Amino acid sequence: PNYPENIKPLSENNLATEARYEMGSTLKIFNAALVFDNEIDLTNKNFEISKGYQITKKKLIEDKHIKEKEINFEEIFLLSSNVGSIKLIEEIGIIKQKDFFEKIGLTSKLRIDGLKIVNNRKPVQWDEQASKFISYGYGISISPISLISAYSSLVNGGFQINPIIHSGQKKIRKKIIDENISKKISLLLEKIVNEGTGKKAKVPGLRVGGKTATSKKLEKGEYSEKKLITSFIGVFPINEPKFITLILFDEPTKNAGESIENFGGNTAAPTFSRIIRKISPILIKQNYFSSD
């Protein structure tokens, strides 16, 4: 603010409500919710991932970060498998996917008094191919506030969230997801932090759940091999969800001493941990005493 001449045009936008991103692996959790919501028996099934998945004639999707040839339902999320996500949506079906995205508000206009909010951008043709891309977080662009709102409904017992920026506005509680499904999602998110890609999001003295994401950035109709968007969406305390936080990096730089590559797990997840360590004792008083 002291140097207004240096402010770039885009930096004046509220990126939480006025920007759209292809959110990558954070969307994979909606596959789990779809399985639970439709009572599809996939939780005990193994999925072969070693050969990848030929999603178009030119594009082979692979899980190069996963050594196992087969993984189970839970490991699709713990290890963040793209191939496993596609195979899940093949079992679930495009119609159920579209209906669920509509139910949790990802395809409708989000309104908040006093704020300008961009519409999420759906695929031009939501066909079988688009459905598979969406299953692992591509092909649909979502605003951060929209993602936060949808995730809130997944973990808060299944209630629809209408974000507000001031108190006094009447809240209408509308149930859109079964409470048992919400509990299953919360347990899965906690397991991702304890055992999966989100280990660096752990916070001493606090039960946390969340999902990492790493997505290639779209430039002039092509996905960049160098520019990334990394993120972590986290909920705490996950056993009694009260707060949700989205950390998102647009083109993060290399992490000195950590990794030559950037992922949601080594950029956004540890940043989430550092932020929550500082603010959780303010938000949750007993965390003063339970924290190391």
The model's pLDDT over 78-99, given as tens digits with 9 standing for 90+, comes to: 999 999 999 999 999 999 999 9
Give the strand pairing for 243-250 and 222-236.
Answer: antiparallel
200 phi and psi angles, rounded to 5 deg: -75, 0
Residue 10: pLDDT band (50, 70, 90) is: low
Rounded Cα distance, 278 and 130, in Å: 40
Rounded Cα distance, 54 and 62, in Å: 9
Can you give the pTM of this predicted structure?
0.91
What is the reported pLDDT for 167?
67
Residue 164: pLDDT band (50, 70, 90) is: confident
Amino acid at 175: K
Rounded Cα distance, 52 and 59, in Å: 10
In this predicted model, which residue has the larger pLDDT, 86 or 10? Answer: 86
Please give the DSSP secondary-structure letter assigned to residue 28: G
User: Tokens representing 105?
Assistant: 């508000």
For the chain, give the percent of residues with pLDDT over 70. 93
In this predicted model, which residue has the larger pLDDT, 8 or 133? Answer: 133
Burial (Cβ within 10 Å: 0-12, 13-18, ≥19) of residue 275: middle
Q: Is the pLDDT of residue 169 over 90?
A: no
